[in-house]
Amino acid sequence: MSKIINVLLVGVGGQGTILASKIITHVALAQGYDVKMSEIHGMAQRGGSVVTQVRMGEGVYSPVIEPGEADFVVAFEQLEAYRWAHFLKKDGTLIVNTQKIVPLTVLIGAANYPESILVDLKDRVERFIELDGLKLASEAGNVKATNVVLMGVLSKYMEFPEEAWQNALVARIPAKLLELNKKAFASGVAAAK
């Protein structure tokens, strides 16, 4: 575990990136990794672009991931995938929830939501996974579990045992929502195959 693994979670305020990052850190800590995590809040929580950074390895110094250094970018929204794609390592993995949340700049006609996001990303990134996480979460019982669907996808590409992820779900999710979220996680795992 000498090398450091960088996971960048990007989305829009309110999409549940924080809970997702807590699931990842729980898994990493249980596997004996040192972990640092960074999140910037403040004005961003009012519907702005949000980013959470998780770094894990034997001894982690900086809590911040820099452009070109993320092993994984998990994008909860298309445009955010586009915005943060250059943070990915050359051989990094990009997981994109194809949901679109239109920013105000586009709503008021000051900018356009780029049409070619998925095509451009596929073109640049070799390890590219796209999925309709919202639909899978809705099928599992609640659209709010989209974040856990995405963790299911991520779990297939990270080298942690399945059991560790299941333990993290139990530890981090309230009991009455656990079954639903386990279903959501499983659908993410299936979508990754």
Partner 1 sequence: MKILMTGNEAIARGVYEYGVSVAAAYPGTPSTEILENIAKYPEVYCQWSPNEKVAMEVGIGAAIAGARAIVTMKMVGVNVAADPLFTVAYTGVRAGLVLVSADDPGMHSSQNEQDNRLYAAFAKIPMLEPSNSQEAKDMVGLAMEISETFDTPVMLRITTRIAHSLSLVELNDPIERLVKTYERNSRKYVMLPGNGRLRRLVVEERMQDLADYSETVAVNNTELQDPSIGIITSGISYQYVKEALPTASVLKLGLTNPLPSGLIKEFAAKVDKLYVVEELEPYMEKEVRLLGINVIGKELFPPHGELSVRMVSEKISGQPGIKVASAFDAPIRPPVMCPGCPHRGIFYTLKQLKLVVSGDIGCYTLGAMAPLEAMDTTICMGASISAGLGMIKAHPEMAEKMVAVIGDSTFLHSGITGLMDVVYNGGNLTTMILDNSITAMTGHQHNPSTGKTLMGQPAPQVDFVALCKALGVKRITEVDPFDLETVKAVIKTEVAASEPSVIIARRPCALIIKNTEKPLQVQECTGCEMCLKLGCPALSFDTENKTVQVDQALCTGCELCMNVCKFNALRKAGDA
> Distance between CA 12 and CA 1 in Å, rounded?
32
Window 38-97: residues binding partner 1 (CB under 8 A): 38-49, 60-64, 66-69, 79-80, 82-83, 85-86, 88
Dist. CA 79–CA 65, nearest whole Å: 20
- The 102-141 site mask, x for binding partner 1 (CB under 8 A), equals xxxxxxxxxxxxx--x--x---x-----------------
Nearer to partner 1 among residue 128 and residue 186 (C-beta):
128
Q: Which stretch binds partner 1 (CB under 8 A): 27-35, 151-159, 170-178, 179-187?
A: 27-35
Q: Within its chain, how far is the Cα of 67 from the centroid?
A: 16
Q: Do the Cβ atoms of 36 and 55 come closer than 8 Å?
A: yes
Would you say 29 or 177 has its CB closer to partner 1? 29
Number of H helices, E strands in the chain: 8, 6
Regarding beta strands 70-75 and 88-97, do their DSSP bridges make them parallel or antiparallel, or are they unpaired? parallel
Residues that bind partner 1 (CB under 8 A): 12-13, 25, 29, 34-49, 60-64, 66-69, 79-80, 82-83, 85-86, 88, 102-114, 117, 120, 124
